[in-house]
């Protein structure tokens, strides 16, 4: 790629910074999801272990245990949807690893050398748009995972109190 238009250079720099910000947001969401995953799995495991003591079961426990486990399991499903990698490229990008890997090295090298700055900027902007959609979906699912975990806390606490 040759440099010719200073305004294009500035736009490319801005697009690269924006793409990096979006990737950083993806990492933040995944980190929050990992913490939530640990909490939800722990709560589910403690509930199942404690519930295995059938001699302590009462009518209240028959209501509280599913009331705790259902939102916990649903929270785990949403966490799974957050952390599941999405690697299907929306175009034949020379920026995204998934589409780069579809080419052998020499084919990729040729394509990269053939692109001009305007094509590179378009590719960056497409990646920004796709990553913005991914981040938006991740955070929406993460919110549901948190909501469901919060819904489970009271029945979970009461059920454990009654069991133990």
pLDDT tens column, 38-52:
999 999 999 888 878
Question: Mean pLDDT in the chain?
Answer: 92
| CA dist., res. 92 & res. 94, Å (int) | 7
Average pLDDT over residues 17-26: 96
The Cβ of residue 65 has, within 10 Å, a number of other Cβ atoms equal to: 22
User: Distance between CA atoms of 9 and 4, rounded to whole angstroms?
Assistant: 8
pLDDT beyond 60 at 1: no
pLDDT of 152 higher than 80: yes
Residue 3 has pLDDT above 90, yes or no: no
For residue range 65-122, what is the model confidence (pLDDT) as tens digits?
999 999 999 999 999 999 998 888 778 899 999 899 999 999 999 999 999 999 999 9
Structural contact between residues 44 and 54, judged by C-beta atoms closer than 8 angstroms: no
User: What's the rounded Cα separation, in Å, for the pair 161 and 123?
Assistant: 56
With a CB cutoff of 8 Å and minimum separation 6, the contacts of 149 are: 36, 39, 40, 43, 71, 72, 75
pLDDT above 90 covers a percentage of the chain that reads 74
pLDDT at 91: 81
Neighbours of 103 (CB within 10 A): 15
Res. 128: pLDDT tops 80: yes
Res 5 pLDDT > 90? no
What's the average model confidence in pLDDT over 57-72?
A: 91
């Amino acid at each position: 790629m040759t440099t010719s238009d200073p305004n294009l250079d500035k736009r490319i720099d801005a697009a690269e910074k924006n793409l990096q910000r979006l990737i950083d947001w993806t990492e933040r969401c995944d980190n929050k999801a990992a913490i939530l995953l640990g909490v939800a799995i722990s709560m589910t495991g403690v509930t199942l272990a404690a519930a295995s003591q059938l001699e302590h079961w009462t009518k209240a426990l028959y209501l509280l245990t599913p009331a705790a486990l259902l939102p916990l399991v649903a929270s785990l499903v949403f966490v799974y949807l957050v952390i599941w990698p999405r690697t299907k490229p929306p175009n034949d990008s020379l920026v995204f690893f998934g589409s780069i890997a579809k080419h052998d090295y020499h084919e990729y090298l040729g394509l990269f050398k053939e692109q001009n700055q305007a094509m590179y900027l378009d590719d960056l902007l497409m990646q920004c748009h796709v990553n913005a959609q991914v981040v938006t979906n991740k955070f929406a699912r993460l919110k549901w995972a948190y909501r469901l975990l919060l819904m489970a806390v009271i029945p979970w606490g009461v059920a454990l109190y009654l069991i133990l």
